């Protein structure tokens, strides 16, 4: 730990590294960098005790959060970065920590992140906002692989993840996340915490997956049910769920067909998903 600290202290500052490697932030890649080491270490700390943990960081960019993770007790860090311009900077950082830091030069959207490393695994990342939701849904499909996900989103997305039934923010993402994991918002950051500042505030959501996870077919059924229900959220469920069984499906699991999607609890959605899967199996 102290030698990690000494090594990092001997490196150029984050700002100097950014200017040395000409890493000006690009909007198209959702680049809003965290330059405050104190803030980066607070985010890394949300993973809890990282002793022996294998961390995957998506989008290390100039490496502020990566440095904080290197200062933690994490056993290894795999940092997945799509921007070729950042690779020399990250290779340089990795050369100081050859046994702990691996730079993965790939698009996170097309990568099976869990295959990078052994368990116990966590993902800790300041996500590129333009692809944050599809990334999260991909990780939820294999939620059993993760000990914890510590993820920076636009605040509005973090609120949707944690929203309660009956609220405006409650939707498909809330149901999928809360079905698989205990979810909370751990930190809210104003635009000025980033360089350059985004237009909106940001928030770190922590998702701790439950020990029992739905099998893949059931997760898919839940995706179908929630897509149909929230695709037409103002309609009564008997209408929005018509294509997958409508009133019959709802009555079979004791849900009033005149209710609207936003009033259903996660457990009620789970009942619908189980029944929908059974129906699909029977029909095939
Ligand atoms: N972690 C850095 C920080 O906190 O300062 C940068 C965070 S910035 C919000 C998002 C990072 O994700 C950028 O470095 C960007 O190049 C990278 N990125 C964008 N799309 C990506 C993708 N599909 N796969 C991997 N990295 C991506």
Burial 134-171 (b: 16+ CB within 10 A, else e): ebbebbbbbbebbbbbbbbbbbebbbbbbbebeeebbb
Query: Measured from the CA of 83, which atom of ligand 1 is nearest?
Result: 16
Q: What is the DSSP string of 241-269?
A: TGGGTHHHHHHHTT--TTSBGGG--HHHH
Percent of the chain with pLDDT over 70: 99
**What pLDDT score was predicted for residue 56?**
98
pLDDT band at 284 (very low <50, low <70, confident <90, very high): confident
**CB 100, CB 74: distance < 8 Å:** yes
Ligand 1 center from residue 134 Cα (angstroms): 14
pLDDT digits (tens, 9 = 90+) for 79-106: 999 999 999 999 999 999 999 999 999 9
Q: Whose CA is nearest to atom 8 of ligand 1?
A: 31
Ligand 1 center from residue 58 Cα (angstroms): 6
Q: Whose CA is nearest to atom 1 of ligand 1?
A: 60
Ligand 1 center from residue 200 Cα (angstroms): 17
- How many angstroms separate the CA atoms of 160 and 154, rounded? 10
Q: Is 61 touching ligand 1 by the criterion CB < 6 Å?
A: yes
Ligand 1 center from residue 152 Cα (angstroms): 11
- How many angstroms separate the CA atoms of 224 and 228, rounded? 6
In sequence order, what are the residues at sequence separation of 6 or more whose Cβ sits closer than 8 angstroms to the Cβ of residue 44? 50, 65, 68, 69, 71, 72, 124
Mean pLDDT of 132-151: 98
Ligand 1 center from residue 60 Cα (angstroms): 6
Mean pLDDT of 38-48: 98
Pair (122, 220) in one structural domain: no
Pair (12, 95) in one structural domain: yes
Instruction: Report the range of poorest mean pLDDT among 5-9, 132-136, 171-175.
Output: 5-9
**CB 235, CB 263: distance < 8 Å:** no
Q: Whose CA is nearest to atom 10 of ligand 1?
A: 128
pLDDT digits (tens, 9 = 90+) for 184-227: 999 999 999 999 999 999 999 999 999 999 999 999 999 999 99
Pair (15, 124) in one structural domain: yes
Q: Is 18 touching ligand 1 by the criterion CB < 6 Å?
A: no
**What pLDDT score was predicted for residue 166?**
97
Mean pLDDT of 17-41: 95
Pair (33, 127) in one structural domain: yes
Bridge partner residues of 209 (DSSP):
181
Pair (125, 202) in one structural domain: yes
Say which CATH number the domain at 247 has.
Answer: 1.10.8.100
Ligand 1 center from residue 281 Cα (angstroms): 40
**CB 79, CB 101: distance < 8 Å:** yes
Pair (106, 246) in one structural domain: no
**What pLDDT score was predicted for residue 28?**
93
Structural domain ending residue among the three candidates 209, 241, 256: 209
Pair (88, 229) in one structural domain: no
Which residues sit in the known binding site for S-adenosyl-L-methionine? 32, 34, 59, 81, 107, 126
Q: Is 80 touching ligand 1 by the criterion CB < 6 Å?
A: yes
Structural domain ending residue among the three candidates 209, 227, 244: 209
Helix (H) or strand (E) holding 104: strand 101-104
Pair (55, 157) in one structural domain: yes
Residue 27 has pLDDT above 70, yes or no: yes
Domain of residue 57: give its range.
Answer: 2-209
The one-character DSSP state at 153 is E
Question: Is residue 1 classed exposed, middle or buried when 0-12, 13-18 and 19+ CB atoms within 10 A define those classes?
Answer: exposed
Pair (18, 156) in one structural domain: yes
Q: Is 33 touching ligand 1 by the criterion CB < 6 Å?
A: yes
Question: Is residue 176 classed exposed, middle or buried when 0-12, 13-18 and 19+ CB atoms within 10 A define those classes?
Answer: buried
Q: Whose CA is nearest to atom 11 of ligand 1?
A: 59
Q: Is 47 touching ligand 1 by the criterion CB < 6 Å?
A: no
**CB 56, CB 74: distance < 8 Å:** no
pLDDT band at 1 (very low <50, low <70, confident <90, very high): low
Q: Is 154 touching ligand 1 by the criterion CB < 6 Å?
A: no
Query: Measured from the CA of 66, which atom of ligand 1 is nearest?
Result: 1
Pair (92, 170) in one structural domain: yes
Mean pLDDT of 250-270: 97
Pair (185, 250) in one structural domain: no
Residue 268 has pLDDT above 70, yes or no: yes
Nearest to 226 by CA among 151, 165, 182, 279: 165
Instruction: Report the range of poorest mean pLDDT among 2-6, 77-81, 274-278.
Output: 2-6
Cα 283 to its chain centre, rounded Å, is 35
What is the count of structural domains for the chain?
Answer: 2
Structural domain ending residue among the three candidates 209, 238, 260: 209
Q: Whose CA is nearest to atom 14 of ligand 1?
A: 61
**CB 60, CB 66: distance < 8 Å:** yes
Pair (21, 49) in one structural domain: yes
Residue 144 has pLDDT above 80, yes or no: yes
Q: Is 60 touching ligand 1 by the criterion CB < 6 Å?
A: yes
If you average pLDDT over every residue of the chain, what do you get? 97
Say which CATH number the domain at 122 has.
Answer: 3.40.50.150
Cα 39 to its chain centre, rounded Å, is 19
Nearest to 208 by CA among 269, 144, 157, 118: 144
What is the residue whose two structure tokens read 């997305």? 157
Mean pLDDT of 215-242: 96
């Amino acid at each position: 730990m102290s030698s990690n600290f000494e090594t990092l202290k001997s490196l150029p500052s984050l700002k100097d590294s950014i200017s040395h490697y000409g890493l000006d932030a690009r909007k198209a890649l959702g680049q809003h960098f965290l330059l405050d080491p104190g803030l980066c270490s607070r985010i890394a700390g949300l993973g809890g005790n990282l002793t022996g943990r294998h961390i995957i960081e998506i989008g290390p960019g100039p490496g502020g959060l990566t440095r904080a993770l290197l200062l933690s007790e994490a056993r290894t860090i795999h940092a997945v970065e799509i921007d070729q311009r950042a690779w020399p900077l990250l290779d340089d950082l990795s050369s100081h920590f050859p046994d702990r830091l691996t730079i993965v030069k790939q698009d996170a959207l097309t990568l099976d992140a869990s295959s990078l490393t052994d368990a116990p695994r966590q993902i800790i990342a300041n996500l590129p906002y333009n692809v944050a939701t599809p990334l999260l849904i991909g990780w939820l499909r294999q939620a059993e692989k993760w000990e914890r996900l510590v993820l920076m989103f636009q605040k509005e997305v973090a609120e949707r993840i944690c929203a309660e039934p009956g609220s405006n923010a409650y939707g498909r993402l809330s149901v999928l996340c809360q079905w698989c994991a205990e979810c909370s918002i751990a930190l809210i950051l104003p635009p000025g915490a980033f360089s350059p500042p985004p237009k909106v505030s940001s928030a770190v959501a922590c998702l701790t997956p439950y020990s029992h996870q739905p099998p893949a077919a059931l997760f898919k059924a839940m995706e179908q049910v929630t897509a149909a229900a929230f695709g037409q959220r103002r309609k009564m469920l008997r209408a929005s769920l018509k294509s997958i069984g409508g009133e019959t499906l709802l009555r079979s699991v004791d849900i009033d067909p005149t209710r609207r999607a936003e009033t259903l609890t996660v457990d009620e959605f789970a009942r619908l998903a189980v029944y929908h899967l059974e129906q699909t199996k029977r029909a095939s």
